Amino acid sequence: MHKVYLGSINPVKLQATQNILEPLGFFVEAVNVESGVSNQPLTDEETMQGALNRALSLPEGFFRIGLEAGIELHFDQMFLVNWGALIDPDNRIYWAGGTRIPLPDQIKSAILNNHVELSVAMNIFFNEKNINHREGAIGYFTDCFVRRSDIFEHIVKLLIGQYFNQKKKEER
pLDDT tens by residue, 36-90? 999 999 999 999 999 999 999 999 999 999 999 999 999 999 999 999 999 999 9
- Check residue 152 and give its pLDDT: 96
Cα separations (Å) of 74 from 4, 43, 81, 139?
34, 10, 12, 21
pLDDT value of residue 132? 63
Nearest-Å Rg of the Cα atoms of the chain is: 16
Residue 19 backbone dihedrals phi, psi, to 5 degrees: -55, -35
| pTM listed for this prediction | 0.93
Distance set, CA 95 to CA 41, 51, 52 (Å) = 17, 9, 9
Averaged confidence pLDDT in the chain: 93
* Other Cβ atoms closer than 10 A to 117: 18
Architecture field, domain 2-101+148-171 = Alpha-Beta Complex (3.90)
